[in-house]
Amino acid sequence: MDYGELVQVYEALGATPAKLEKTQILAELFRRIPPHLLPIIPHLITGDIFPEQEMELGIGPGLLYNAVSFVTGVGKGEIEDIIREEGDTGRAVKRLFERRPQKTLYTETLTVERVHEIFTSIARSKGSGAQDRKIKYLAELFSSATPLEAMYLVRTVLSELRVGVAEGLLRDAIALAFEVDVKAVERAFMLTNDLGLVAKVARESGEEGLRRLTVTVGRPLRPMLAQAAPSLEEALKEGDEVAVEIKYDGARVQIHKKGKDVRIFSRRLEDVTEALPDVAGYALASIGAGEAIVDGEAVAVDPETKRPRPFQEILRRFRRKYDIQQTAQEIPFETHIFDILYKDGELLIDRPFRERRKMLEALLKEEKGRFMLAKQLVTGDIKEAERFYHDALSMGHEGVMVKNLDARYVIGSRVGYMYKVKPVAETLDLVIIGAIWGEGKRRGWLSSYYLGARDELGEFRYVGRVATGVTEEQLEEYTRLLKPLIEFQDGKEVRLMPEVVVEVGYQEIQRSPKYDSGFALRFPRLIRLRDDKSPAEADTIERVEELYRKQGASKKDG
């Protein structure tokens, strides 16, 4: 299939804001493409390229501009000037390619298969010389691309396709294309985390095939997430009796055991097993099953006080590639397991939580201070729950989780029957989409950050700018993280690839015509880096609006 044909689909999708029309366009595409492309096309449509747990391109703007410069003969300085003029990297590259003589630009017709093959080669390029190989592969792609194709190749590389297609719309399109129940598509995606696989099975085997799809030990699943409750009393309305558990200030881990092999996945579905050999060892010894998938939280603890250490210490462990054993001794982890999704061939997510907890208790051989069940109280008494809550806080934890004992585990959803209760005001997880170079003492650092929330189609909209709550050490860290993500600079301001998630506090949310989200944070402050979260997990504009309405209601109540 010619890549140009897919590009025309991108153009049609971008030209209409109507969800129904987008769904029809995608359904028609899925019906007509060759079967071997069905596992590939859905990922290219979202700009992800691969199922999210598999591979990443690892290409920032710098490498991209080197490849464009190589193909066009235009220096990086001029490329950045044109990007600044256009305000869009893809359009800027299209403009550069339109200046090229056709006879030197088009060497062969670019196909979808070739695009995916080269992207795969780029993602697999590791070690010495990897950057040069990636530039070579990109240059090969661009050499065969038309100006419009080059624009979308660039947008794909930068994860900014801008065609207004989110996962929900793709699920609807697969259901429409192959005349299957959208709920069957939803569940199949939930269990496999791979829309390409789901589309292929829907075409080949229909609903019956979709219903046969299940989890695979070793392939991570998106975690179930909790909603925030305004108070413990409100959370306890969930039932006559609820499970109250400590809300640990750690990092979510999903642990897969198959025989003697243990794999650990982060909340972002990254395989972090090599960085956490101690956790893997305790999991192997403690999980009494041939195959299992369990859900938990890894907490960094002070060896002397046994109190939780700052979240940044956890990130040090997760990022570590060298001196891993030494770092594990310096920053020991306690892992607290609170749910089970799968055991020895049986999918458990549809069982009520009370049953899953009993199975977990029978399954787990605890290693005190290292690998344990999450501490839990089953009660309907507010006074008992409050004592448990205050005990959790006194131990240095964030608060408590309140769970409905009859609830199932819904993969990848923020559910209405599991609540988090914390004493601090509600915060937002936002993506840094721009920054400003500092002056004076902050010179040389990106020190003021533009914040974005996701809209319903996955694009990021401005909600404010934060410059407080950051130490000099953190300024250095943030600059190191953000500098490779700079797409272009205009004066002291830079625009960034949307990759870094931060937790942000604020005094108030206001309506604002200044920002394209329609909202602005009043007196925002940066609390911490959320390296455990992907941009896809950042808070949405819908969530910002919900908090805006809640604060209005609380003012009226006051």
Of the chain, the percentage scoring pLDDT greater than 90 comes to 68
Q: 449 with 417, same domain?
A: no
- Per-residue pLDDT of 395-414, as tens digits, reads 999 999 999 999 999 998 88
Domains identified in the chain, total number: 3
Q: What is the pLDDT of residue 26?
A: 97
Q: 244 with 373, same domain?
A: yes
116, pLDDT greater than 90: yes
Q: 347 with 230, same domain?
A: yes
276 vs 371: CA distance, rounded Å: 13
**448-465 mean pLDDT:** 91
Q: What is the CATH number of the domain that holds 517?
A: 2.40.50.140
Q: Is residue 487 part of a domain?
A: yes
Q: State the pLDDT confidence band at 105, using cuts at 50, 70 and 90.
A: very low
Q: What is the pLDDT of residue 553?
A: 53
Q: Is residue 219 part of a domain?
A: no
- Per-residue pLDDT of 315-343, as tens digits, reads 888 887 778 888 888 888 999 999 999 99
- Per-residue pLDDT of 423-433, as tens digits, reads 877 889 999 99
Q: What is the CATH number of the domain that holds 91?
A: 1.10.3260.10
Q: State the pLDDT confidence band at 518, using cuts at 50, 70 and 90.
A: very high
Q: 8 with 149, same domain?
A: yes
**480-499 mean pLDDT:** 90
Q: Is residue 501 part of a domain?
A: yes
Which positions are annotated as active-site residues? 247
Q: Are 397 and 249 in contact (CB under 8 A)?
A: yes
- Per-residue pLDDT of 219-243, as tens digits, reads 999 999 998 888 899 899 877 899 9
- Per-residue pLDDT of 270-312, as tens digits, reads 999 999 999 999 999 999 999 999 999 999 988 888 889 888 8
Q: What is the pLDDT of residue 99?
A: 85
Task: Please say which residue of 421, 448, 477 terminates a domain.
Answer: 421
467, pLDDT greater than 90: no
Q: 149 with 44, same domain?
A: yes
| DSSP state letter for 57 | -
Q: 324 with 458, same domain?
A: no
84, pLDDT greater than 90: no
Q: Is residue 56 part of a domain?
A: yes
Instruction: Determine the 3-state secondary structure of 484 from DSSP.
Output: helix
Q: 246 with 119, same domain?
A: no
Beta strands in 358-498 (DSSP E): 371-373, 376-379, 399-404, 414-421, 428-437, 446-454, 460-466, 486-490, 493-496
Q: What is the pLDDT of residue 556?
A: 47
Q: 495 with 465, same domain?
A: yes
**203-214 mean pLDDT:** 96
Q: 147 with 240, same domain?
A: no
Containing structural domain, residue 111? 3-157
Q: What is the pLDDT of residue 458?
A: 80
Q: 374 with 438, same domain?
A: no
Q: Is residue 537 part of a domain?
A: yes
Q: Is residue 30 part of a domain?
A: yes
Q: 416 with 438, same domain?
A: no
Tokens linked to 459? 């694009």
Q: Is residue 527 part of a domain?
A: yes
Q: What is the pLDDT of residue 108?
A: 78
- Per-residue pLDDT of 17-43, as tens digits, reads 999 999 999 999 999 999 999 999 999
**521-542 mean pLDDT:** 90
